Chains A and B, each alone.
Chain A
Amino acid sequence: MIERARGLNIATQIILGAGLLTLLVPLYLTFVAATQTLPEVNRVPPTFLPGTHLFDNLAEAWVRSNFGQKFVNTMILATGVVVGKITVAAITAFGIVFFQHRFRMLIFWLIFITLMLPLEVRIVPTYSVAANALSPFQQILDVVGLTWLLEALTGMRVALEWNLLNSYTGLILPLVATATGTFLYRQFFMTIPDELVEAAQMDGAGPLRFLWEVLIPLSRTNIAALATIMFVYSWNQYLWPLLIITDPNYGVVAVELGQLVPDSNTTGGGIPHWNLAMAGTLIVMVPPVLVVIFMQRWFVRGLINTDK
């Protein structure tokens, strides 16, 4: 839609400008604070001009928070979650869209309902499962009486245990299931013409081949979009890692950043190190920003090569 009314044009420009400003001001303040020394950042009234200590602060924040290790951890977490999500979601949506079985609507709705239950809502049971991933199976065994039976027969007690706390697996697995991704793929798969599916059938392609050689290549742009969103999402994970990671070797950046933010614990009532906290923020922001920039180019390429 192209509106030619001049007044409207100006109004939209103003709104756009205001929106941009609202987005940029906090970023600018972060940047300014990260360039100042401790006395400068705490001065009243505050200065809004950048100082000269950006690199000092960055270096200090990097070392103090041991970001090197945290970056590796978070990268593993984010990559694992992204790969897991795009794979699981693709396969789930494939099953829902292309196979006519009795329960497919039921399954779809079950998945859809979980959209309404984000991790935060089910975090306690998820934690208890993470503490022992096999506990649900143990419970099933207990309930049906198999544990008792085996104990009576062999004298050994079945105690299944698989602890996921303080591990990459524990970080990644609970975040992998994704109703949003499944939904996104489903919507895309439903636009695939039946004739294309049938042509592949006539050519002799089995379901997996069709998924791998036709559907996945056609979903490239969808995958890129999903991967980008999910990367940022997992890079920013805070609550879940905070809960299950007690070993600093498995710490992630968002949690670490939280510890840089001054409060009475970290400064012991001293002067808050806002400059370091903001420098840390700048560091942590880099990977998601790079991913978005890089993937954006990818989208555009995908859009130019539109296949009809």
Chain B
Amino acid sequence: MADINIRRVEKSYGDTRVVHGVDLDIRDGEFVVILGPSGCGKSTLLRMIAGLEAISGGEIAIGGRVVNDLEPRQRGCAMVFQNYALYPHMSVAENIGYALKIAGIGKAERRARVQSVATAIGLEDYLDRRPGQLSGGQRQRVAMGRAMIREPKVFLFDEPLSNLDAKLRVQMRLEIRHLHQRLAATSVFVTHDQIEAMTLADRMVVMNQGNIEQVGAPSDVYDRPASTFVASFIGSPPMNLLPGRMTESGQHVELADGQHVPIPTALAQGRAGRPVTLGIRPEDIRHGPAAGGSGLTAKFDFLEELGMGRLFHGTLGGQDIIMHATDKTPPVFGTAVDIAFDPSRLHLFDVETGKRLAGESGRADKEQWSGYRATA
């Protein structure tokens, strides 16, 4: 069993604290992706798990055993690095088998295990090459092989795909997923690529400035972002965030330019008359007058063709907004056009803390929107 329990873990470099008391429980066999902008402390957290970085405060336990004072080699983790970090003077076979050699495993067994790992990563024909004679993708595979051969309890990945081209990245992503299915080892994967995070993760951890903003399944994090930070970080293009004020009736949010957005009553909850941030994803906005006549208008300036839809860029209530339209309505630029928000997909955030207030009230509402769309 290799679950990882992280308790109030902190990291400081001198006086600067870069990880602020993080709590996280990773279950045995789970694939967890840590996602966040550059410099938020993802690598630092991962390296504290690996033992490459001293823990300034709190406690990390792997498989129930506190590892704070253990050397990296005693923690049973294997790590895949961003720049592969292969030994340049060793052949592929030696690179993969080095950990076994250090562990004092005999030549014959070593050769057999290297062979089987090489087969698994598709590098049987390259065992005698030096890393310098391999392509980026092949080097990446060697790095994975080197991690696999020890049959570790925990796999740690620090942006292992970021040096690969787009196509190879997708392919390696699938291979990592396969690998995980086969080995079922607990995996922690750091990235700042949200597609990578969404596709790989059983659970996703979104970090910001040394704090965890949200932990949850990818769809959860996408549908119910816990804060404006997560809302604007996850999703491409990001969620539209519009400053507004809840009306006294609690039925609408009034935007800066006086337009009213009707909201489900469930969202109002004692916020009447208070300022809020209204969130709506680009794909939850569409053309056309809303049913019930409470239409919104926005002005669009240009569009981007995606093939699977079009991104309309414009302004609403003095804010830039983006609408992802999948219909074929002919674009109108420069004058106000009717748009509608999916009421079941509205998000409300506290203006001061940026925390989520409520929203996305569930499947029932979803149905309602389909009906709503049909009537439009």
Contacts and interface: CB of A to CB of B under 8 A. Distances in A.
Nearest to A307: B88
A198 B52 contact: yes
Given A198-B79, A198-B81, A204 B88 contact: no
B18 to A, nearest CB: 17
Contacts of B81: 195, 198-199
B52 A193 contact: no
Contacts of B102: 203-205, 209
Interface string B300-328: 00000000000000000000000000000
A201 to B, nearest CB: 5
Contact of B103 (A204, A306, A308): A204
Contacts of A306: 132
Output the residue of B47, B86, B87 with the most chain A CB within 10 A: B87
A198 B77 CA distance: 12
B73 interface: yes
Interface in A48-67: none
B182 interface: no
B139 to A, nearest CB: 10
Contact of B72 (A193, A195, A202, A218): A202
A202 B77 contact: yes
B146 interface: yes
A202 B89 contact: no
Interface string B85-96: 111110000000
B113 interface: no
Contact of A199 (B47, B79, B130, B132): B79
A187 B48 CA distance: 28
Interface in A260-308: 306-308
Given A199-B81, A201-B52, A201-B73, A218 B88 contact: yes
Contact of B99 (A204, A218, A307, A308): A204
Interface string A190-213: 000101101111111100010000
B73 A196 contact: no
A201 B77 CA distance: 11
Contacts of A198: 47, 50, 52, 72, 79, 81, 85
Contacts of A202: 50, 52, 72-73, 77-79, 99
B126 to A, nearest CB: 16
Nearest to B83: A195
Given A198-B81, A214-B87, A217-B89, A203 B52 contact: no
B98 interface: yes
Contact of A203 (B82, B84, B99): B99
A87 B14 CA distance: 35
Interface string B40-84: 000000010011100000000000000000011100011101111
Contacts of A307: 88-89, 130-132
Contacts of A196: 85, 87
Chain A interface, DSSP helix/strand/loop, else mixed:
helix
Contacts of B98: 203, 205
A307 B131 CA distance: 8
B46 to A, nearest CB: 11
A98 to B, nearest CB: 13
A308 B133 CA distance: 9
A205 B88 CA distance: 16
Contact of B132 (A200, A209, A218, A308): A308
Contacts of B132: 306-308
Interface string A216-236: 011000000000000000000
B89 A203 contact: no
A308 B73 CA distance: 26
Nearest to A198: B52
A199 B98 CA distance: 11
Which of A199, A201, A217, A308 has the most B CB atoms < 10 Å from its CB?
A: A199
Nearest to B147: A202
Nearest to B79: A202
B82 A195 contact: yes
B89 A218 contact: yes
Nearest to A195: B85
A199 B132 CA distance: 17
A51 B146 CA distance: 67
Contacts of B87: 196, 199-200, 214
Interface string B134-172: 000000000000100000000000000000000000000
B105 to A, nearest CB: 11
A22 B122 CA distance: 60
A154 to B, nearest CB: 47
A201 B98 CA distance: 11
Contacts of A204: 72-73, 99, 102-103
Contacts of B51: 201
For A196, A202, A214, A306, the residue with the greatest tally of chain B CB atoms inside 10 Å of its CB is A202
Given A195-B81, A202-B72, A204-B73, A308 B52 contact: no
Q: Which residue, A196, A217, A218, has most C-beta atoms of chain B within 10 A?
A: A196
Contacts of B103: 204
Contacts of A308: 88, 131-132
A114 B86 CA distance: 36
B88 A203 contact: no
A306 to B, nearest CB: 7
A203 to B, nearest CB: 4
B142 to A, nearest CB: 11
Contacts of A193: 83, 85
The 6 closest A-B pairs by CB, nearest first: A307-B88, A204-B73, A195-B85, A199-B85, A203-B99, A217-B89
Interface of A: 193, 195-196, 198-205, 209, 214, 217-218, 306-308
26 contacts: A193-B83, A195-B81, A195-B82, A195-B85, A196-B85, A198-B47, A198-B50, A198-B85, A199-B79, A199-B85, A199-B146, A200-B87, A201-B51, A201-B73, A202-B50, A202-B72, A202-B73, A202-B77, A202-B78, A202-B79, A204-B102, A205-B98, A209-B102, A214-B87, A214-B89, A307-B89
Given A196-B85, A198-B79, 9 more contacts: A201-B51, A202-B72, A202-B73, A203-B73, A204-B102, A218-B88, A218-B89, A307-B89, A308-B131
